[in-house]
Structure 1
Amino acid sequence: MILDDYMIATDVNSEVLCLGYPIYNSSLNDLPNKSKLLVNTINQYSYCISEEDATFKEALLNSDVILPDGVGIVFASKWLNDVKVKKIAGADFHEFQLKRLNSINGSCFYLGASNETLGKIETRLKKEYPNVKFGSYSPPYKPSFTEEDNVKMIQEVNNFSPDVLFVGMTAPKQEKWSYAHKGELEAKIICSIGAVFDFYAGTVERPNKIWQDLGLEWLGRLFKEPKRMWRRYIYYGGIFAKHMVKAKFNRL
């Protein structure tokens, strides 16, 4: 089964408008049928950052698919629209794609992280998904890339020409980069999945399935890394709540 045969076109009911963003609300088996698909995720933190960063907001709004990666977005959809959406984390999308690629002898490319992390990803990938062809490149670690950096990154991806390109350079950097260079990248699916690189490599432990099923994965991450995560979940949690209340009252 080839990639284009696997993907099924969606209808208008596959999205729900939440806080100004068209949130994907369907099965991952029903992704849009496009020659090149740009996939991003949104959660309460990225939503708040997008309200402060116009370029980031433009990148998200121009995604082909925006996955609801967080209980905040799930709650907002229910509270504001009375529409239930299912959380789809970047890690869930990553696992789904690897299983699919393994079944079709497909290929994936990891752009981001350190060479050490990429090496751990490759080792695990070859063990769990032996039919998937693997490629990777570790870009320079810096706040912004030069034109030479961008050319090199695009060349590395295009020389491999993957079915799926995973981009992991933290938000909002990864989303803005993917959007800016979508037209130059030779990949059928381009998705920004950030922390998933570390989760899959084992350099950062993802909260276990109990936390995930309870909708408390964020709390598990907060317990594990309080100094790094408190601002994302506590401070921006309050900001996100204000945005929801404002949106609710604007409809009255």
Structure 2
Amino acid sequence: MIDKGKRNVLGVLVDAVDYDAATRRVVEAARHRRPLALTALAVHGVMTGVLDPAHNARLNAFDLVTPDGQPVRWGLNLLHGAGLTDRVYGPTLTLLVLRRCAEEGLPVYLYGSTEATLSRLVPQLEQQFPALKIAGVEPSKFRPVRPGEDAEIAERIRDSGARLVLVGLGCPRQEIFTYAMRPLLDMPLMAVGAAFDYHAGLLRRPPEWMQRRGLEWLWRLGLEPKRLWRRYVILNPAYLSRLGAQKLGMWQATPPPSATDRPADFTV
């Protein structure tokens, strides 16, 4: 088990952890009713923080930020000698956490995505984990939160008996939502990105060899070129150039102070 704490990658504090450590921290928080905010960041997530100081501050307030993409793992190893042999991929971490929740009888709440996706996701999860208790399911409304609505959402989640919330809203909306809701809930929230779509069978996983070599972005680009070309064609080179500059001391990637104020506006 590896848990070496937070390390500075382009000013974003990413945890040098493995699957075992990340799973343990989430399940312990669920078991003991402790708030915890987790997100799994690939290059796009890190660069969103680099380019948006306010969002960077929010990310640096998260309890756990895992290296979702191989290039983020490479960054931890290159800059800090983390010695990580694998990334901590959001969809895979989701399954590991759900397996433990099923074994321990910890109910789970699914927040985000669409009704159509959730209607396919729930049976898939129940088939894979027959003992899993799904306390509630709530699709995204795809609009800004109205005054007081965050408290209403938190009340629905608490009343469901859930001990864990999986948030699937896409980056960076899911991180903003998770950050805003953390003070209102005595349970972990996991921003899991495309995990809902993958486990619902709506997105195809790339071959293992592409994942190992950090080429998942190329697979995703081939599936959704119109939506994702800017993300990968622009942000990937920017990430690599800044990573090299940080390693050589040519760029001072100073992490901003962690955010403390809850956002008034975010997407639900």
Match of 1:28 in 2: 19
Q: Using the alignment, how far apart are the partners of 1:84 and 1:27 within structure 2?
A: 10
CA contact (8 A) 2:39 2:64 kept: yes
Which structure dedicates a bigger proportion of its chain to helix?
Answer: 1
Q: CA RMSD in A?
A: 2.3
CA contact (8 A) 1:38 1:182 kept: yes
| Equivalence map 1:174-185=2 (5 Å) | 174-185=174-185
Deviation at 1:165, TM superposition (A): 0.6
Q: What TM-score do you get using the length of structure 2 for normalisation?
A: 0.81
Match of 2:111 in 1: 111
1:135-156, Cα deviation, whole Å (9 max, x unpaired) = 21113112x2222442332222
Q: After the TM superposition, which segments of 4 or more aligned residues of structure 1 sit over 6 Å from their partners? A: none
Q: Using the alignment, how far apart are the partners of 2:77 and 2:151 within structure 1?
A: 43
| Equivalence map 1:204-215=2 (5 Å) | 204-215=203-214
Deviation at 1:15, TM superposition (A): 4.1
DSSP 3-state at the match of 1:147: coil
* Residue identity matched to 2:231: R
Match of 2:130 in 1: 130
Q: What TM-score do you get using the length of structure 1 for normalisation?
A: 0.86
- Compared CA separation, residues 26 and 80, structure 1 to 2 (3 A): closer
CA contact (8 A) 1:161 1:186 kept: no
Equivalences, count:
241
**Among residues 2, 18, 43, which one is paired with 2:9 in the alignment?**
18
Q: Using the alignment, how far apart are the partners of 1:90 and 1:166 within structure 2?
A: 11
Structure 1: runs of 5+ lacking an equivalent: 1-7
Match of 2:152 in 1: 152
Identity of paired residues, percent? 22
* Residue identity matched to 2:246: A
Match of 2:49 in 1: 50
CA contact (8 A) 1:55 1:176 kept: no
Q: Using the alignment, how far apart are the partners of 2:42 and 2:232 within structure 1?
A: 10
Deviation at 1:67, TM superposition (A): 0.2
Structure 2: runs of 5+ lacking an equivalent: 252-268
Q: Using the alignment, how far apart are the partners of 2:154 and 2:212 within structure 1?
A: 37
| Equivalence map 1:1-252=2 (5 Å) | 13-30=4-21, 31-32=24-25, 34=29, 35-85=34-84, 86-134=86-134, 135-142=136-143, 144-187=144-187, 189-250=188-249
Q: Using the alignment, how far apart are the partners of 2:213 and 2:249 within structure 1?
A: 31
1:59-100, Cα deviation, whole Å (9 max, x unpaired) = 210111110011221222233233332311111110111111
DSSP 3-state at the match of 1:171: coil
- Compared CA separation, residues 27 and 50, structure 1 to 2 (3 A): closer
DSSP 3-state at the match of 1:47: helix
* Residue identity matched to 2:20: N
